[in-house]
Structure 1
Amino acid sequence: IVAMSLTMESVVLPFVFLMGIGFAVAYNFGTNIFLGQVSYITKAIAAILQLGVSMDYSIFLFDRYDEEKERFEDRRDAMASAIQGAFVSLSGSSTTTVAGFLALCAMRLGLGPDLGLVMAKGIVIGILVVLVVLPSLILVFDKPIHRWSHRSLIPDLTRLNDWIIDHKKTFVAIFLVLFVPALIMQSRTQIYYNIDQSLPEDLPSTVATNKLKDEFDMATTHFVIVDDSLPAYRLNAMEKEMEKVDGVEALLAYNKFVGPGIPDNFIPQELKDICKKDGKQMLMINSRYKAAREEENAQIEALNEIAKRYDPGALITGEGAMTKDLMDITTVDIQVTNVLSVLAILVIVGLTFKSFTVPVILVAAIELSIFINQGIPALTGTVIPFVSPIVIGCIQLGATVDYAILMTTRFREELQNGHERVEAIKIASSASDKSIITSASVFFCATFGVSLISKIEIIKSICSMLARGAVISALVSIFILPSVLLACEGFIAKTSHNWRSDITPPPRKRLGKRLKELHAKQGESI
């Protein structure tokens, strides 16, 4: 509310927007019942993400409505024209956002499909609300929206845009040069996989784990599952080998306490059930190493090799083993989701603009923003949770490519209106800057607010990086993208369909009003 109140010219409009998005959030969370269950991370951030992302669509639509009101006598006609004029931006940006979230569904880690489905559904519901419900809300509250108004605190950036275009070669060079350091910094960002590291230090479970480490030199516990038919002498040999593995503090097993001298049928069943069940036997190994460390992973590999040698069907589980699997899965998930999100958005933007080069330029601009965002932790020495690079790579690309799509759509529209390309990009920049700044400010405030409140490091990290990513993407879209579009405009025109001349241009004047003017001047029968 504060961000919208400062960047918009109306006191009432932020509440109208929140009312509309409130419907979308309620519909989205209500329909989660069909999914059965959602993760706590999804529940914590889905509403905020939907608010931050869907607000863009509301802002784009209202800004266009205010423009169209000057051309129409009836504000309902102005709203109809605004919906039509903004539809390309809205459909393109919402589709790319949905694609970014759906890319998370390719993750083998369950959090990805969980968050991806909920948010993709939320964006679809959000765009429907913006196109169907929000126009009615705006028309109903049109008078108080414009009556209770004030000057926007966003300055006029026309002179800044002129200066940027006058130095377009410099900004194109900056765009190209920044990729190298951004990629290097991103590759040096450290990631942690230990789940308990993301939880508050004062939680009882965290306190207990630290106490075990300090007083008993025990950090994690491994559980080895072997076949119960394994002879006692082989079990003894396996256990002795495992006890010699570096970092093993203690090994507890059924046969170590019972021994071969006591017949198995002498042991009470309730005691045997602790270590034996369904033809399997469990061994417990206490380790002095913490999960997700190199020495812990090496220890698990050594134990697994010993167990497999005695029983090919042996399994090792526990926090350390699961964390090691998590590291292997996440490495693949990061690559798969990034590739899928980039390819999906390239296709969607390409179809939206009927162009081969526009999607490459827009995705490259936002990918630069993502590289810078993910590289900042390396400069600050911050270690981020394993989920953050996956979520940021998809969500920042899908959500903030809207800024680039809005700028490019307006640039093409001004070219089709007959403006020379330098004048067209200046008009497009001045017309788009306000919407980009407002939507980026809302996205920043919504996600940054959660990062300040949350005590769970995973949620805090995701939201703080999304907040920073919104600002970086906005800066790239305002300062760098116009120069890149202008420099590549000739090539874009050659590789795009109807770039400068649209078959069905959006109506700029009301036909009926024009016909009445002709009738009054010429006295002709119409």
Structure 2
Amino acid sequence: MDRLARFIVEKRKFFLGLFMLVLAISVLLAPMVRVNYDLTRYLPGDMQISKAISVMEREFGLKGSAQVMVEESNIPRALLFKDKLEHVSGVNQVLWLDDFADVTKPLALIDRDLVEDYYKEGHALFQVIFDEGDHSLKTGSAIQKIEELNDGKIYLRGPAADAFRLRQTATSEVMVIILLVIPIFLLILILSTSSWIEPVLFIAAIGVSILINMGTNALVGEISYITQTTAGLIQFAVTMDYSIFLLHRFGEERAKGVETKAAMINALKHSFSAISASSLTTIAGFAALMFMRYGIGFDMGLVLAKGVALSLLSVLLLLPALVITFEKAIERSHHRPFMPNLKKFARVVLRLRVILPAVALLLPVAYLAQGSNHFLYGGEAVTPQTEMEDVFGRYNPLILMVPSGSIQRESALSAALGDLDGVKDVQALVTVADSSIPREMIPQDIVDNFQSERYSRLTVLLDTGIESAASFAAVGSIRETANRYYPGQFLMVGSSPAVSD
């Protein structure tokens, strides 16, 4: 270790230049990192919903969808607004009341339930289908343009709107978190050091490794938005003590009167085992995440393990170069230790050792209590509840795909699904067009929305939250009903089924 420590100190300028070069490359790579906001893509491939998503993409394409509501509207204004929606770049199709009934007639002559699905209390509700998927940047841009339409108050909800809000939240909130956490980190470092410059060097060394980690994620291929927004802060939190180990040892050597370079060599020799042991156990812990069946574990484990390894290299190779370069500034900015003497506290802790058995008795209680924690697995927690629920009720769609070819069975299934608790509406080709009408007479864009060569698609609208006992019960009932009409032949896609799985 002595020879390695000497090599690191002697070649410090080389390592400093190398890190700056890699940092510059990483900064250029950072914008190229592809971020995935669709957590269903991490579901194991052998799960039923993963297979269903693949089939739907092949048969119908994964087009995003959202609902748009406008206030203080009437039929002519609603038709004008629909025309504006259809001309928004990224919008593929807009469905409204006029697609299912003649709106030139008095509304009293049209089925009331149908009218209130799209027009109620002066509010118009449009179903928007996009060119690309819910999580596409093009779809997000279309949603932003819809929000900017100057037609009074506009509300949006649905999978595409949720994905857009999630992306906005992830981008903005991470900056808020950084602004809140960095001062806390600085305070900890100031309390742990005896120089005003040392915390800056700590942050510089670990910060460089974080930026390199973020940039090299471009080489990974694609990472989740959760990893993108949390990896840097987690990396900083779990590796900041490496720098403290090295600098404390360096300070002890300097206090003995050892020359700067020799002090750093000794510090590297004596702190290497502690730093490497700490980092390797952390890397092993994060690497264990990579063996999760849920693919986001591999995603987070790989990025975090890579980040800790880079922090280790940064502390051992970059920090010595920075400390030696700024050693005079460190000495000039020396201050008295702020950390209080903990001897009295240690004596108190020693006296209280008798309570340890009582604490041990609480462990089984804590273990049992943790089973009562309530977790939210989807994006509902970050999706604001809007005025749309007050007018049109909740919107929780799921897709059911069944083999095409039997209008009678599809009609019977649609009717049975509509009678289930928690089901608000069922939209299928057999419900939007009378079964006696020849399929050739129905507009092709409507047919394509509900039917492919092999499958018929039914959209089941649930009047429940996405992550609730009621939604999971409804999903179970829908599966049982679909299996009764199409044993082992149906496929289901949706937020509630995904969370349930």
TM-score (structure 1 length as normaliser): 0.58
Residues 402-421 of structure 1: per-residue CA shift (max 9 Å, x gap): 10111111211232344333
Q: 1:462 aligns with which of 300, 303, 311?
A: 300
Tell me by how many angstroms 1:370 deviates.
Answer: 0.9
Structure 1 residues 169 and 241 mapped into 2: Cα distance closer, same or farther (>3 Å)?
closer
Please give the secondary structure, in 2, of the residue aligned with 1:346.
Answer: helix
State the alpha-carbon separation in 2 of the partners of residues 496 and 278 from structure 1. 71
- 1:361-380 equivalences in 2 (<5 Å): 361-378=201-218, 380=219
Q: 1:445 aligns with which of 281, 284, 290?
A: 284
Indicate the residue corresponding to 1:232 in structure 2.
Answer: 75
State the alpha-carbon separation in 2 of the partners of residues 166 and 322 from structure 1. 54
- 1:51-62 equivalences in 2 (<5 Å): none
State the alpha-carbon separation in 1 of the partners of residues 28 and 262 from structure 2. 37
Structure 1 residues 362 and 174 mapped into 2: Cα distance closer, same or farther (>3 Å)?
same
Tell me by how many angstroms 1:483 deviates.
Answer: 3.2
Structure 1 residues 476 and 216 mapped into 2: Cα distance closer, same or farther (>3 Å)?
closer
Q: Is the 8 A contact 1:275 1:282 kept in 2?
A: yes
Please give the secondary structure, in 2, of the residue aligned with 1:453.
Answer: coil
Indicate the residue corresponding to 1:170 in structure 2.
Answer: 14
What is the aligned length? 342
State the alpha-carbon separation in 2 of the partners of residues 298 and 340 from structure 1. 30
Indicate the residue corresponding to 2:311 in structure 1.
Answer: 473
Q: Is the 8 A contact 1:334 1:389 kept in 2?
A: no
Q: Is the 8 A contact 1:218 1:287 kept in 2?
A: no
State the alpha-carbon separation in 1 of the partners of residues 243 and 12 from structure 2. 17
Please give the secondary structure, in 1, of the residue aligned with 2:250.
Answer: helix
Q: Is the 8 A contact 1:245 1:299 kept in 2?
A: yes
Q: Is the 8 A contact 2:139 2:160 kept in 1?
A: yes
1:398 aligns with 2:234: no
Residues 120-140 of structure 1: per-residue CA shift (max 9 Å, x gap): xxxxxxxxxxxxxxxxxxxxx
State the alpha-carbon separation in 2 of the partners of residues 169 and 206 from structure 1. 51
1:219 aligns with 2:63: yes
Indicate the residue corresponding to 2:332 in structure 1.
Answer: 494
Structure 1 residues 268 and 346 mapped into 2: Cα distance closer, same or farther (>3 Å)?
same
Q: Is the 8 A contact 2:5 2:268 kept in 1?
A: yes
Q: 2:182 aligns with which of 324, 336, 342?
A: 342
Q: Is the 8 A contact 2:74 2:122 kept in 1?
A: no
Q: Is the 8 A contact 2:135 2:163 kept in 1?
A: yes
Indicate the residue corresponding to 2:150 in structure 1.
Answer: 309
Residues 337-368 of structure 1: per-residue CA shift (max 9 Å, x gap): 34443343233312321422101111111111
1:254 aligns with 2:97: yes
Structure 1 residues 505 and 414 mapped into 2: Cα distance closer, same or farther (>3 Å)?
farther
Q: 1:326 aligns with which of 159, 166, 182?
A: 166
CA-based RMSD of the aligned residues comes to 3.0
Question: When you count helix as a share of all residues, which structure comes out higher?
Answer: 1
Q: 2:263 aligns with which of 418, 424, 429?
A: 424
Q: Indicate the percent of aligned positions where both proteins have the same amino acid.
A: 23
Q: Is the 8 A contact 1:223 1:317 kept in 2?
A: yes
Q: Is the 8 A contact 1:186 1:374 kept in 2?
A: yes
Q: 2:85 aligns with which of 219, 242, 250?
A: 242
TM-score (structure 2 length as normaliser): 0.61
Please give the secondary structure, in 2, of the residue aligned with 1:225.
Answer: strand
Please give the secondary structure, in 1, of the residue aligned with 2:157.
Answer: strand
- 1:87-236 equivalences in 2 (<5 Å): 157-217=1-61, 219-227=63-71, 229-236=72-79
Q: Is the 8 A contact 2:196 2:335 kept in 1?
A: no
Structure 1 residues 176 and 232 mapped into 2: Cα distance closer, same or farther (>3 Å)?
closer
Residues 499-521 of structure 1: per-residue CA shift (max 9 Å, x gap): 8xx99899xxxxxxxxxxxxxxx
Q: Gaps spanning 5+ residues in structure 2: where?
A: 344-501
- Paired residue type of 2:290: S
Q: Which has the higher contact order (CA 8 A, sep 6+)?
A: 1
Q: Gaps spanning 5+ residues in structure 1: where?
A: 1-156, 507-526
State the alpha-carbon separation in 1 of the partners of residues 182 and 206 from structure 2. 10
Please give the secondary structure, in 2, of the residue aligned with 1:452.
Answer: coil
Residues 239-261 of structure 1: per-residue CA shift (max 9 Å, x gap): 23433445544433234423335
State the alpha-carbon separation in 2 of the partners of residues 403 and 294 from structure 1. 39
Tell me by how many angstroms 1:185 deviates.
Answer: 2.6
Q: Is the 8 A contact 1:444 1:471 kept in 2?
A: yes
State the alpha-carbon separation in 2 of the partners of residues 401 and 237 from structure 1. 58
Residues 189-225 of structure 1: per-residue CA shift (max 9 Å, x gap): 2323333334344444444344344323451112011
Q: Is the 8 A contact 1:250 1:286 kept in 2?
A: yes
State the alpha-carbon separation in 1 of the partners of residues 75 and 93 from structure 2. 19
Q: Is the 8 A contact 1:391 1:462 kept in 2?
A: no
Structure 1 residues 172 and 244 mapped into 2: Cα distance closer, same or farther (>3 Å)?
closer
State the alpha-carbon separation in 2 of the partners of residues 255 and 467 from structure 1. 55
1:290 aligns with 2:130: no
